[in-house]
Amino acid sequence: MEIREFELERIQSLYENRVEYNLSDSGVHPYNLRELLTATEREALLEVELGYGWTNGSVELRRSIAALYEGRDGDNVIVTNGSAEANFLLVMTLLQPGDEIIVFVPNYLQIWGWAKAIGVEVKEVALRAELGWQPDLDELRAALSSRTKMITVCTPNNPTGSLLTDETQAALVAIAAEADITLHADEVYKGAELDGRERRSFADLYDKAIVTNGLSKAMALPGLRIGWLVGQVDEIYGAWQRKDYTSITTSAVSEFVADIVLQPARRAEILERSRRILRANVELLSGWIDANADLFSCVLPQAGGMAFLRYNMPVNSSELVTRMRLERSILLLPGDVYGLDGHIRIGVGAPAGHLEAGLARLAEFVRAEIV
């Protein structure tokens, strides 16, 4: 089996810990355990037995996750190592060589990459900047065929930070229901909506939805490596069978912490912190874009920890990003990794001072070296 390099992750793995200004992250600046847990919780953490636990996730944690959705229980949930493992298990469970899927792009291209690797035909339907990053539903209908197994969407979106409108969500559900196919949503940025209205999960809108989520992005806890899938009982069982072959279980320490942070009051506090950081940073970014409007423009993000900037300079995005890294020690992601040259992705979840200094250096670089 051949698999295409996951360029986005490769660039980050190689360089994010080596630069002075890492503005390539998509989540919110992470907590440390001292900030996150009370003294009593930290004491309780010391008592956690470092066994295997449940291979589909502890009963308590699956119950806490199920409570985030309507009418679901622990059997509708499998706990995974990050939402990355959830996406992987989803592909391995629901798709076969020869199937077709429809992927909305731009997107985090993990499902796209795995599906192609196992011989699934991947059709792309564009989210359109001129429609506020909504899809043209006629294009979606035209892409459907009798072999289409699944439509997959990422909302809030990576890389644009856009949200599907309630109307688009309803329309996607209607289209998937009419075709009687699975609708998958990667919702790992959900809860980080800047307007404070958490959007409904596709799992609450459609029986045949399967949803990926986790603690890495809106919840600002990527180091726990906790994610999950929520779906129908037989699908979740299938994913569990495959998890026995991959990682067996998640970490007992992480599951313990995850169950604390998913209790409603604590989850609300964490999401409030995320939104506070993101709102301030998006305002900062917006001011910077106004000051550099001759070179950059952006449909500002509505959620999540990143913005997708369009630039007006005669340079390829990978070249621009490489030069910024080598000449000014700033890391961003090039639009090329999303198949959209002429753009760069910039993280807006970093501490404000870091973002401000990184943006100042970025403006100085392009004005001195590129334009």
Residues that bind ligand PLP (CB under 6 A): 26, 82-84, 87, 108, 154, 158, 186, 188, 214, 216, 222, 227
168 versus 292: smaller Cβ distance to ligand PLP? 168
Residue in the block written with tokens 């320490």: 253
Task: Name the residue nearer to ligand PLP (CB basis): 87 or 274.
Answer: 87
- Cβ atoms of 332 and 326 closer than 8 Å: no
The least distance separating ligand PLP from the CB of residue 225, rounded to whole angstroms, comes to 7
CB of 43 to ligand PLP, least distance (A): 28
**Smallest distance from ligand PLP to CB 126, Å:** 17
Which tokens hold the place of 348?
């807006």
Could you tell me the smallest distance in angstroms from the CB atom of residue 91 to ligand PLP? 13
Residues 210 and 76 sit within 8 Å (Cβ to Cβ): no
Task: In whole angstroms, give the CA distance from residue 145 to residue 141.
Answer: 9
For the bound state, the minimum distance from the C-beta of residue 293 to ligand PLP, rounded and expressed in Å, comes to 28
- Residue 13 has a CB neighbour count (10 Å cut-off) of 10
Q: Which residue is nearest to ligand PLP (CB)?
A: 82
Nearer to ligand PLP among residue 28 and residue 366 (C-beta): 28
Place of tokens 């807006």: 348
- By C-beta, is 214 or 334 nearer to ligand PLP? 214
Among residues 114, 115, 137, the alpha carbon closest in space to that of 125 is found at 137
Looking at beta carbons only, is 129 or 258 nearer to ligand PLP?
258
CB of 305 to ligand PLP, least distance (A): 9
Q: How far is the CB of 28 from ligand PLP (least distance, A)?
A: 12
At 21, list the tokens: 């200004």
C-beta of 54 vs 112, nearer to ligand PLP:
112
Q: What is the Cα–Cα distance from 173 to 150, expressed in whole angstroms?
A: 12
Give the nearer residue to ligand PLP in terms of CB position, either 254 or 292: 254
Q: Which is nearer to ligand PLP, 250 or 292 (CB)?
A: 250
H or E segment and range at residue 336: none
Query: CA 214, 30, 112, 98 torsion: positive or negative?
Result: negative
Amino acid identity at 244: D
Query: In whole angstroms, what is the distance from residue 169 CA to residue 239 CA?
Result: 25
Contact 308/298 with Cβ under 8 angstroms? yes
CB distance 214 to 258 below 8 Å:
no
* Strand ranges inside 245-371, DSSP E: 296-298, 306-311, 330-331, 333-334, 343-347
Shortest distance (Å) from residue 334 CB to ligand PLP: 16
